[in-house]
Amino acid sequence: MIYQHERKSNGEKRASSILKQCERTIEKGTIGLPELVKWLHITFIFIMLAIIAFWIVELKQGEMPYLDLVTRDTVAIVSGTSMYTFFRWMTELGSRQFVLPFVIIMMGVLWILYRRIVPALLFGLGTLAAQMVNRLIKHLIARERPSISSLLNAEGFSFPSGHAVTAIVCYGLLAYFFGKRFPEKKKIIYVLFGILTVLIGMSRYFINVHYLTDVIAGFFLGYLCLIAIFYLDNLADKRKR
């Protein structure tokens, strides 16, 4: 029993030593935690680019992506329910009629909060630029919508979803700038705006004016736009110092 106890004790010491060595490697090794996160982020971007490129090839060949084929039944189930009504109202928060005056008002709010014009300009011009890029890609892909409706602000081509792009850029930038201004409330700000963004984007799928791949591609395009705007804001902060 004494021998077994010594073996167990030695094993625990070795395990503890290995654990501490791993912690030191993460802290000061060749692959630190921030570096690992950065490479995971880059990997995610390239994987998404590959997936969306595959979808685009299928669409240009006149085929429907498999993800859209297996998710069409959900739209039929939701139609006419209270869930459809909920998403019908949510989609208005990404419409041109709402977003344009909202962006103008929020530009004023950001100008007042920061007492400088750069955040307001990045927010307003960033949202506008994202919409312009989205329209360009829509015309290049030229995918028809599952249904057309002027009342639902659903005319023109389908891929990617303009509501998804607008939601993630507009509300994502607001979350970013509000989070910077009120760091003690950053987590709740990010969660609330994150939920709002997902609901607005997904509303287009549930009310049957976009395919699911349109929404996912729209979110990803908006995400890339956000990265570019964050970079510009960091440059502006460095120059200010």
Map out the domains of the chain as residue ranges.
Answer: 1-30, 65-240
Q: Could you give the residue ranges of the DSSP H alpha helices within the chain?
A: 2-28, 33-60, 66-78, 82-90, 96-114, 118-141, 162-181, 186-206, 212-240
Of residues 5, 41, 139, 163, which has the active-site annotation?
A: 163
The answer to whether the CB of 129 falls within 8 A of the CB of 225 is yes
Judged by DSSP in three states, 115 sits in: coil
According to DSSP, the residues that pair with 149 across neighbouring strands are: 154
Examine the residue annotation and report whether 210 is marked as an active-site residue of this protein. Answer: yes
* Mean pLDDT lowest among 16-20, 123-127, 216-220: 16-20
For 82, what's the count of Cα atoms within 13 Å in the CB-facing half-sphere? 0
pLDDT digits (tens, 9 = 90+) for 51-99: 999 999 999 998 999 999 999 888 888 888 999 999 999 999 988 889 9
Share of residues in the chain with pLDDT > 90 (%): 61
Using pLDDT thresholds of 50, 70 and 90, give the confidence band for residue 12: low
Name the token pair of 112.
């007042």
Angle (nearest 5°) at CA 127 between 123 and 128: 120
Examine the residue annotation and report whether 5 is marked as an active-site residue of this protein. Answer: no
Q: What pTM was computed for the model?
A: 0.80
Of residues 5, 41, 139, 210, which has the active-site annotation?
A: 210
| Nearest CA among 198, 197, 200, 175 for reference residue 188 | 175
Using pLDDT thresholds of 50, 70 and 90, give the confidence band for residue 37: confident
pLDDT at 7: 46
